[in-house]
Structure 1
Amino acid sequence: MTFLEELKKQRWDDHRFYHHNRINQFLHLLSAMCFMVSYALVFYYPAAAALVGWLLSMILRQSGHFFFEPLTYDKVNQVSHEHKEEIKVGYNLRRKVVLLSIWALVPVVLFFEPTLFGAFEAHTNLYDFINNMAITWLFIGIGAVLFRTLHLFKLMGVQSGLVWFTKILTDPFHDFKIYRKSPLHLLKGEMYDDMTDWYEEVPVSN
Structure 2
Amino acid sequence: MTFLQELQQQRWDDHRYYHHNRINQFLHLLSAMCFLASYVLVFFYPAIAALVGWLLAMTLRQTGHFFFEPLDYDKVNKATHEYKESVKVGYNLQRKVVLLSIWALVPIVLFFNPTFFGIFTPAADFFSFVDNMAIIWLVVGLGAIAFRTIHLFKLMGVQSGLVWASKIITDPFHDIKIYHKSPYFILKGEMYDNMEDWYEEASFENKVL
Provide the TM-score with structure 1 as the length reference.
0.98
The C-alpha deviation readout for 1:53-101, integer Å capped at 9, x for no partner, is 0000000000000000000000000000000000000000000000000
**Which amino acid in structure 1 is aligned with residue 46 of structure 2?**
P
The code of the aligned residue for 2:149 comes to T
Conserved 8 A contact 1:17-1:84:
yes
Deviation at 1:200, TM superposition (A): 3.6
- Which runs of 5 or more residues in structure 1 are unaligned? none
User: Are the aligned partners of 1:6 and 1:203 in contact in 2 as well (CA < 8 Å)?
Assistant: no
Q: Give structure 2 stretches of 5+ with no counterpart.
A: none
Q: Deviations over 1:106-136 (max 9, x none)?
A: 1100100000001111001001000000000
Give SS of 2:78's match. Answer: coil
Instruction: List aligned pairs for 1:177-196, cutoff 5 A.
Output: 177-196=177-196
Q: Separation in 1 of the partners of 2:163 and 2:206?
A: 14
Alpha-carbon distance in 2 for matches of 1:78, 1:203: 21
The alignment partner of 2:124 has SS state of coil
Counting aligned pairs with the same residue, the percent is 72
Question: Could you tell me how far apart the structure 2 residues matched to 1:3 and 1:100 are?
Answer: 30
Distance 1:67 1:176 in 2: 21
Report what 2:170 is aligned to.
Answer: 170
1:146 aligns with 2:110: no
Aligned to 2:124: 124
The aligned residue for residue 86 of structure 2 is: 86
Q: Which has the higher helix share?
A: 2
Kept in 2, the 8 Å contact 1:22–1:191? The answer is: yes
Please provide the CA RMSD for this pair.
Answer: 1.0
Aligned to 2:47: 47
TM-score using structure 2 length: 0.96
Q: Distance in 2 between matches of 1:119 and 1:38?
A: 24
Q: Is the partner of 2:196 in helix, strand or coil?
A: coil
Q: Do the aligned residues in 2 keep the contact of 1:31 with 1:61 (CA within 8 Å)? A: yes
Displacement, 1:196? 1.3
Which residue number in structure 2 is paired with residue 69 of structure 1?
Answer: 69
1:157 corresponds to which residue?
A: 157
Deviation for aligned residue 1:203: 4.3
Deviations 1:125-171 (A, max 9, x none): 00100000000000000000000000000000000000000000000
